[in-house]
A and B are shown apart, each in its own frame.
Chain A
Amino acid sequence: GAGVSQTPSNKVTEKGKYVELRCDPISGHTALYWYRQSLGQGPEFLIYFQGTGAADDSGLPNDRFFAVRPEGSVSTLKIQRTERGDSAVYLCASSTGHSSNEQFFGPGTRLTVL
């Protein structure tokens, strides 16, 4: 079946602009995670959804970052007033939400802020 998909695959924007990154999880997966991977680093947790609600947003770096999952499936990560330091690969993962379950990762969106 289809895996996790993310769009766009690449996004170039200018400092100060607003961007939206989309994640389509595997059908039926209730848990959805966003991570950010900077160059030369491992992925860092941003936010976790269980169903429609954000169960843990402790990884969001500041209030310019926001994410939604209104129907419990597709999620959108929104970044306001982008800064050059936001440049990174944004990864989405989904799982069934059961204990110890594997997280399936999408290919990521590479965001470049000029």
Chain B
Amino acid sequence: AQSVTQLGSHVSVSEGALVLLRCNYSSSVPPYLFWYVQYPNQGLQLLLKYTSAATLVKGINGFEAEFKKSETSFHLTKPSAHMSDAAEYFCAVSLSGGSNYKLTFGKGTLLTVNP
């Protein structure tokens, strides 16, 4: 079984400030971890994924995340927020091995970027 907890349903930052969105996971086997972004009235888009290679993962739009097994965390960061980053962000986990890679999502974090 697996689960995801996203701390903070709403995060507000100023343009140019650091973005930090928190994600903790629980998994019975080594996990695959994902961050997806959802813009208003659009589908989910993959930002980045961890699949047991490098623990620091770089994604699109300047985002990156670090897998920390000891902390069971996969926090998403971006050094400098842009107005265009305003969206809802979802952390998700799937189990490695087998053939069913169904995703278990967190409840999401709404990111607001203030001018």
Contact = CB atoms under 8 A, between A and B. Distances in A.
Interface of A: 3-4, 31, 33, 35, 40-45, 48, 50, 55-56, 59, 91, 93, 95, 97, 99-108
Contacts, number: 70
A106 B41 CA distance: 11
7 contacts: A43-B103, A56-B100, A99-B51, A100-B52, A100-B94, A102-B34, A103-B101
B105 interface: yes
Given A102-B46, A105-B43, A108-B43, A44 B105 contact: yes
B59 to A, nearest CB: 11
B49 interface: yes
Contacts of A106: 43
A97 B96 CA distance: 12
